[in-house]
Amino acid sequence: MLKVEKDCLPSPNYMFSQKDINEKMRAILVDWIIEVHLKFKLLPETLFITINLIDRYLSLVSIKRNNLQLVGVTAMFIASKYEQIQTPEVRDFVYITDNAYTKNEIFAMEHAILSTLNFSMIMCTPYRFLERFFKVASDSQRVWNLARYLIELPLIEHRMLKYTPSILAASAVYLAQNILLGNQSEWTTDL
């Protein structure tokens, strides 16, 4: 995973090349994607793959703001097909966008995203690293839950793209263990 992790990272500075979208729009999109992810009851890894696909695509292609949601929903469609056993249908994605896009537009964007990324679907997300690190570091369900929360926080923040998934996951496990299992009296006096 460490060997391929750098091959699947988006450019952390891609927003500078985007003319019509900005970091705030990306944050709103990611927040909406998280809600859609919860509504469809998808696997946690699907969310991380979706965000990775969005960022990798936007690193390479400048888009108009009216297509940003289309990129997001199509990335989730692709990630669902990649990770889920039972995937939502394309009509579900049309519906979730309040019919802002058609099936054909989603299929066209799917082709555009996959072609731009050279059909490279190999990616190491913070969630996969977290699973590995957690097995070694802890067996506490509370540590797992807090660490999962901590790796989801950076999804919305564009500035966090400069950190590798392995660093985010290791930091989450370390912080969760120190908060929950470390010397708790030190933490409470600081608060």
| pLDDT (0 to 100) of residue 158 | 94
Distance CA 186, CA 191 (A): 9
pTM: 0.90
Q: Quick check: 154 and 27 in contact, CB under 8 A?
A: no
| pLDDT at residue 137, rounded to an integer | 82
Three-state DSSP at 9 gives: coil
CB-neighbour burial class of residue 99 (10 A; exposed 0-12, middle 13-18, buried 19+): exposed
HSE at residue 158, side-chain half, CA atoms within 13 A, is: 20
What tokens does 191 get?
């608060």
Give the angle subtended at the CA of 22 by the CAs of 154 and 11, to the nearest 5°: 60
Domain-by-domain residue ranges, the chain? 2-116, 126-190
CATH H superfamily, domain 2-116? Cyclin-like (1.10.472.10)
Residue 185 has a pLDDT of 46
Q: Which amino acid is at 87?
A: T
pLDDT tens by residue, the chain, 191 residues: 888 888 888 999 999 999 999 999 999 999 999 999 999 999 999 999 999 999 999 999 999 999 999 999 999 999 999 999 999 999 999 999 999 999 999 999 999 999 999 998 878 899 999 999 988 887 889 999 999 999 999 999 999 999 999 999 999 999 999 998 775 545 444 44
CA distances (Å), origin 27, targets 33, 51, 99, 125: 10, 11, 22, 18
Measured in whole angstroms, how far is the alpha carbon of residue 75 from the centre of its chain?
Answer: 10
Q: CA-CA-CA-CA torsion for 179, 127, 171, 154, nearest 10 degrees?
A: -90
Write down the residue that tokens 């039972």 correspond to.
Answer: 86
Residue 77, judged by CB atoms within 10 A of its CB (0-12, 13-18, 19+), counts as buried
